[in-house]
Amino acid sequence: MILLSIQNLSLPIEDPVLKFLLVLIIILGAPLILNKIKVPHLLGLIIAGAIIGPNGFNVLARDSSIVVSGTTGLLYIMFLAGLEIDMGDFKKNKWKSIGFGLYTFSIPLLLGVLLAHFILGFSMLSSFIFASIFSTHTLISYPIIGKLGLVKNRAVNIVVGGTMITDVLALLILAIVVGITQGEVNSAFWIKLFVSFSLFSIIVLWGFPIIARWFFKKVHDKISQYIFVLVMIYLAALLSEIAGLEAIIGAFFAGLALNKLIPHTSALMNRIEFVGNAIFIPFFLISVGMLIDFKVFLKDFETIKVVVLMTTVAVLAKYLAAVFTQKTFKFTKLEKNLIFGLSVSHAAATLAVVMVGYNIIIGENEMGEPIRLLNESVLNGSIVLILISCTLSSFSTQATGQKLALEDSEESLADDNQLEEAILLTLNKDETVEPLVNLALSLKSKHNTDQVFALNIISENNNENSDKSSEKLLHTAVTLAASTDTKVQTIKRYDSEVLKGVNHVIKELKVSDVLFGLESKKGFSPTFIYNLYNSKIDENNTNVFVYHAAQPMATIKKYSVLIPPQAQHSSGFYHALVRVWNIAKNSGCTMNFITNEKTIEILEKILKKSNIECQFTVMNDWGNIQEIITEINKDQGFIAFMEQTKAASFISGINDIPRLMNQYLMDKNYLLIYPYNDNSSFMDNKFVSNHDDYVKIGEIVSKLFKA
């Protein structure tokens, strides 16, 4: 069939195999070729689409297959923007996002109305829908930000939030204008619009997390989880259209809804990003390119004038919005340039507005030809605007992003030198492998990609753990971590005592953190507790984590973190605290720190510049630990800082917590942390004499949280 198609080849190509092959070759070749001449590959895909599209050499038609794949790519971009947004940062910078959203909406709208009404002579109704073209923007350069590791940058954060605001407002204007042309703008119109948008928001932002949390608890198949995410994206997009909004708004809201349920370090997140960046997003860029018609410049002077004016005003308006945002919120010049680079590109929402305006006929001229709300010159001008704005966005975002990434890497390198990290997972049961791997991925530094070790001890006195089962455990750990691009180094040892073998490996590898897993239905055993307190791990500058997982970590909404008085005297306390901070940062869950007032003051000093969601509960009566534990509800977890030695404890009864875990939290997630105490670090009690010293130390240690 393929040979027959080649022999009778005609353009555009109809054979599905040849079409898909050609698109894949473009997706593969464009980045490889253009990276050599420093051209962003996103731009290369758009240009390639223009060349092979119906307005170029007509190699491929922009048919339903291209449109469907391209639409998925567009929804993917908006979904990823909502999914990867740091909710802690978003809440902290919500006023900045609102400010930028209003700037990037109102400034282009004002300039657009002035241009359309007073220069191009459009009616006021046409002027408003014309101006809303400039207010919208599409995050077409967002994949560049993802590759540079800048998705958590505050400038990116406010652009993502502002995009939602400006696109919703622009599309609201579109809905109003359409309603006016159809004579439907009355009280019923406004009530319907308000009710539909409210219902849509409630269903997606409140209902979707409930459904997703239930699904992720019940279904552990990786393929099913990924398909579920796609269903959520398209369902939210459909609900958005039913509510009278564009599908891209629904996709963005779906990302916000699933934000805390798909950890940034998880295998599912890796799959979502991989498939999107490899297939769907490139399809979207190629489909955008297919709309571009270079011949519009040769049609007539009116078209050329409209193209030049539209492009100039659109770029100028977005630049002014970035400048106003910089001046208002005191951003740096690089951040201003990044805001401009991300927000200057026009694509999806612009096309939506233009096509709706072009298809609305408001009358006929003397020759009987239809008079459209937006004429053909605006349609052609918008296509050229897409090409120029996407080109400018790609170059600007890449150049600025590389400079910011270089600055971030230099700061991170300095911070990482203060916190050497080597994490050891002790594996002995199939059930504990995946929870321990997920815990390690959540608490490790983002820069640690190869200092994670998986250990299985084969007891010389017990044949239960054979070579075969050991290989299976270690292979499972490697496979799970590899799905997030993290390399796990495996270790298999023979020893007469398990904890003695663990201790030897800790010394050999200079392990900073060792993780033990408890079976969900067994919990702590007296033997485990005795061995833990007598293993002398505390002499090795190693923090010990004991983890019990009753449900996937991603489904936990909130952790109660118990920090007894004097916990900060342990040398490893602040290093262990960084691990807790990483769990919150990577999972998006809320941390409720329960401790005394002095420790809360220290924590507030350290965490005030962090972007995790945290609460503080003062606890002075430490005889109520059992009451705290029994108040742990569904989808909540418990974390407690403990002592590694049995001779002394922070408070009376703290070492009774394992018994309470077995009694009350067998169906909950909990993590016990035993910070090391080597009596030789800068946290030494001899050095720290009072509370003020701890506050000063907190300022120093806060630098660790940038890692």
Q: Give the DSSP per-residue string, 223-263.
A: HHHHHHHHHHHHHHHHHHHHTTS-HHHHHHHHHHHHGGGS-
Residue 469, domain extent? 421-518
What's the confidence (pLDDT) of residue 561?
Answer: 92
The vertex-54 CA angle with 51 and 60, nearest 5°, equals 80
pLDDT digits (tens, 9 = 90+) for 262-317: 887 788 888 888 888 888 888 888 887 787 776 766 666 777 888 888 889 999 99
Q: How far apart are CA 211 and CA 199, in angstroms?
A: 16
45 in a structural domain: no
In this structure, the answer to whether residues 395 and 511 fall within a common structural domain is no
Is 650 a residue whose pLDDT tops 60? Answer: no
Is 202 a residue whose pLDDT tops 90? Answer: yes
**Structure token pair of residue 230:** 């796609």
What's the confidence (pLDDT) of residue 229?
Answer: 94
In this structure, the answer to whether residues 490 and 375 fall within a common structural domain is no
Q: How far apart are CA 318 and CA 139, in angstroms?
A: 13
Spatial contact of 447 and 270, defined as CB atoms under 8 Å apart? no
Closest by CA position to 548, among listed 464, 422, 657, 655: 657
In this structure, the answer to whether residues 253 and 375 fall within a common structural domain is yes
Among the ranges given (38-52, 300-314, 645-659), the one the predictor scored with the smallest mean pLDDT? 645-659
Quick one: pLDDT band at residue 108, thresholds 50, 70, 90?
Answer: very high
Identify the domain boundary among 353, 378, 411: 411
Quick one: pLDDT band at residue 114, thresholds 50, 70, 90?
Answer: very high
User: Where residue 573 sits, what CATH number does that domain have?
Assistant: 3.40.50
The per-residue pLDDT of the chain, averaged, comes to: 80
Q: Is 612 helix (H, G, I), strand (E, B) or coil?
A: coil
543 in a structural domain: no
Q: How far apart are CA 208 and CA 650, in angstroms?
A: 42
User: Where residue 482 sits, what CATH number does that domain have?
Assistant: 3.40.50.620
Q: What is the mean pLDDT of residues 192-219?
A: 91
Identify the domain boundary among 461, 494, 518: 518
In this structure, the answer to whether residues 613 and 668 fall within a common structural domain is yes
In this structure, the answer to whether residues 305 and 231 fall within a common structural domain is yes
31 in a structural domain: no
34 in a structural domain: no
Identify the domain boundary among 411, 439, 469: 411
Q: How far apart are CA 320 and CA 327, in angstroms?
A: 11
Q: How far apart are CA 43 and CA 344, in angstroms?
A: 14
In this structure, the answer to whether residues 254 and 399 fall within a common structural domain is yes
Type of residue numbered 336: K
50 in a structural domain: no
Q: How far apart are CA 436 and CA 443, in angstroms?
A: 11
Nearest 10 degrees: CA dihedral of 453, 454, 460, 463?
Answer: -170
In this structure, the answer to whether residues 80 and 138 fall within a common structural domain is yes
Is 406 a residue whose pLDDT tops 60? Answer: yes
What's the confidence (pLDDT) of residue 82?
Answer: 81
In this structure, the answer to whether residues 325 and 456 fall within a common structural domain is no
In this structure, the answer to whether residues 447 and 467 fall within a common structural domain is yes
Domain count for the chain, please give it: 3
For residue 640, the cross-strand partners are 562, 672
Spatial contact of 251 and 21, defined as CB atoms under 8 Å apart? no
10 in a structural domain: no
pLDDT digits (tens, 9 = 90+) for 326-372: 999 888 899 999 999 989 988 766 766 776 777 777 777 677 677 77
For residue 513, the cross-strand partners are 423, 543
What does the buried/exposed string (b/e) look like for 4-32 if buried means 16 or more CB atoms within 10 Å of the residue's CB? eeeeeeeeebebeebbeebbeebbeebbe
42 in a structural domain: no
- The answer for residues whose C-beta is within 8 angstroms of residue 388's C-beta and 6 or more apart is 311, 315
Closest by CA position to 595, among listed 563, 626, 555: 563
668 in a structural domain: yes
Spatial contact of 177 and 129, defined as CB atoms under 8 Å apart? yes
pLDDT digits (tens, 9 = 90+) for 528-576: 666 666 655 645 678 889 999 988 888 898 999 998 887 777 778 888 8
| Tally of helices (H runs) and strands (E runs) in the chain | 28, 12
Closest by CA position to 584, among listed 79, 85, 84, 86: 86
Spatial contact of 76 and 276, defined as CB atoms under 8 Å apart? yes
In this structure, the answer to whether residues 387 and 429 fall within a common structural domain is no
Type of residue numbered 611: N
